[in-house]
Chain A
Amino acid sequence: DAMVIQNPRYQVTQFGKPVTLSCSQTLNHNVMYWYQQKSSQAPKLLFHYYDKDFNNEADTPDNFQSRRPNTSFCFLDIRSPGLGDAAMYLCATSRGDRDNEKLFFGSGTQLSVL
């Protein structure tokens, strides 16, 4: 009964070739997040949506974009992937009750850049 679903599980792309990662949720949560996690490092927040309001982290490269067409779906677009963008990308959701209610994570998409 997966509640936060990420597709694909593994993604291979070429250097400079645009790639899109997808995330869907069945929880009807207000907030959706994208985290980048490189090997043996902490997850790093890239951006989040509260409903349709987009919030970018100050140090997120312009190469990373996001779209949230509706409550259930959120996409991460990498316009020109570099070798340094190879990582696990984690999608998460929360109700957004301003009490930092529990985050629900998907299983992640492992991105390789050749």
Chain B
Amino acid sequence: AQSVTQPDIHITVSEGASLELRCNYSYGATPYLFWYVQSPGQGLQLLLKYFSGDTLVQGIKGFEAEFKRSQSSFNLRKPSVHWSDAAEYFCAVGGMDSSYKLIFGSGTRLLVRP
């Protein structure tokens, strides 16, 4: 079955510290992987996506993610967190056989300490 697991419900980091949000997926075919960010009361904004090629992808706002097929993971990283990064982060998986559908993880809420 297709699924996405984000094992951390909440993460708190200090401003300026590095960040890593975990994502593991289960997908029968070649996965397409995404990270979205959602501010309170807002829709979702795409941070980055992986379709193929270089397994380290760069996104907006200084975020990057690395696809590791052997670990079925697509962890999101940022070297230095800003207070404005506090939000909910969703990992999602899709693929060519999924009829354009994305399956989302349950999200990780990021809190940033001043």
A: residues with CB less than 8 A from B are 4, 6, 31, 40-45, 48, 50, 55, 90, 92, 94, 96, 98-100, 102-103, 105-108, 110
Decide if A100 touches B42 in the complex (CB within 8 Å). Answer: no
Decide if B104 touches A43 in the complex (CB within 8 Å). Answer: yes
In the complex, what's the smallest C-beta–C-beta distance from B1 to chain A, in angstroms? 13
Decide if A48 touches B45 in the complex (CB within 8 Å). Answer: no
Decide if A103 touches B46 in the complex (CB within 8 Å). Answer: yes
Q: Considering the chains assembled together, what is the distance between the CA atoms of A74 and B109 in angstroms?
A: 30
Number of interface residues of B (CB under 8 A): 27
Decide if B96 touches A98 in the complex (CB within 8 Å). Answer: yes
Whether A55 touches B41, Cβ cut-off 8 Å, given contacts A42-B107, A102-B46, A103-B46, is no
A selection of 20 A-B contacts at a CB cut-off of 8 Å is A40-B107, A40-B109, A41-B106, A42-B90, A42-B105, A43-B44, A48-B100, A50-B99, A55-B99, A90-B43, A94-B100, A96-B100, A98-B96, A100-B51, A100-B94, A100-B100, A102-B49, A103-B44, A103-B102, A106-B43
Decide if A99 touches B51 in the complex (CB within 8 Å). Answer: yes
Decide if A100 touches B32 in the complex (CB within 8 Å). Answer: yes
Whether, in the assembled complex, B101 has its beta carbon less than 8 Å from a beta carbon of chain A, the answer is yes
B: residues with CB less than 8 A from A are 4, 9, 32, 34, 36, 41-46, 49, 51, 90, 94-96, 98-102, 104-107, 109
Q: Considering the chains assembled together, what is the distance between the CA atoms of A1 and B45 in angstroms?
A: 15
Whether A42 touches B104, Cβ cut-off 8 Å, given contacts A55-B99, A100-B94, is yes
Decide if B106 touches A42 in the complex (CB within 8 Å). Answer: yes
Whether A100 touches B107, Cβ cut-off 8 Å, given contacts A42-B90, A45-B101, A108-B43, is no
State the 6 A-B residue pairs at the shortest beta-carbon distance, nearest first. Answer: A105-B43, A42-B104, A100-B94, A105-B44, A100-B32, A107-B43
Q: Which of A31, A42, A108 has the most CB of B within 10 A?
A: A42
Q: Considering the chains assembled together, what is the distance between the CA atoms of A40 and B89 in angstroms?
A: 11
Q: Considering the chains assembled together, what is the distance between the CA atoms of A99 and B34 in angstroms?
A: 12
Q: Which residue of B lies closest to A101 (CB)?
A: B100
| Cross-chain contact of B41 among A45, A94, A110 (Cβ < 8 A) | A110
